[in-house]
Structure 1
Amino acid sequence: MIKKHEIYKKDKWNMMTVEVQGRYIILREISDQWGEETHTFLSRPAMMQWVKGRFPKEEYLDREEEWNQIMNAFKEV
């Protein structure tokens, strides 16, 4: 069974989803800047380590609520 989580979606060109497929966690990031990128993780801690590098809190100093929403969405995976 595949469980799909939507992390955020601004429009059809800027979104991020995570699918849990057995022991694999597949993260798809679609952006109008880079196209589609897919990352595969074998554990939630590995994914969270990537997430903290991808969404550094320092870049969200004036948008802390947005950062918290993104982090909470990943924690629910």
Structure 2
Amino acid sequence: MFAKHVIYKHDSYNMLTVEVQGKTLVVREISEQWGEECHKFLSRAEMMDWAERHFRAEDFPRGEDQLRETLAALRDI
């Protein structure tokens, strides 16, 4: 069984989850605009590097605060 973490869920169409599958981290990003995107990482450092480059404060309803919360939740996995 895989551990699944919900990083954020704004509604049924905008969410980010992470599944820990052994040593692999599977990030599923679901958005109204782009549909579902799946990203696989072999380390937390690789996932965090992607997240820090991928997300911007403008991507979130609450801006910079929510960006910090999202990155902190990813770090805690």
Question: What is the TM-score normalised by the length of structure 1?
Answer: 0.87
Counterparts in 2 of 1:20-59, with a 5 A limit? 20-56=20-56
Identity level (%): 47
The count of aligned residue pairs is: 76
Where does the alignment leave 5 or more consecutive residues of structure 2 unmatched? none
What do you get for the CA RMSD once the two structures are aligned?
Answer: 1.9
SS of 1:17's partner is: strand
CA distance in 1: counterparts of 2:56 and 2:30, whole angstroms: 19
Structure 1 residues 34 and 57: CA distance shift in structure 2, 3 A: closer
SS of 2:3's partner is: strand
CA distance in 1: counterparts of 2:3 and 2:59, whole angstroms: 30
Runs in 1 of length 4+ with deviation above 6 angstroms? Answer: none
Aligned to 1:18: 18
CA distance in 2: counterparts of 1:3 and 1:65, whole angstroms: 26
Structure 1 residues 42 and 7: CA distance shift in structure 2, 3 A: same
CA distance in 2: counterparts of 1:72 and 1:7, whole angstroms: 9
Q: Which has the higher contact order (CA 8 A, sep 6+)?
A: 1
Question: What is the TM-score normalised by the length of structure 2?
Answer: 0.87
CA distance in 1: counterparts of 2:39 and 2:22, whole angstroms: 15
SS of 1:6's partner is: strand
Structure 1 residues 69 and 30: CA distance shift in structure 2, 3 A: same
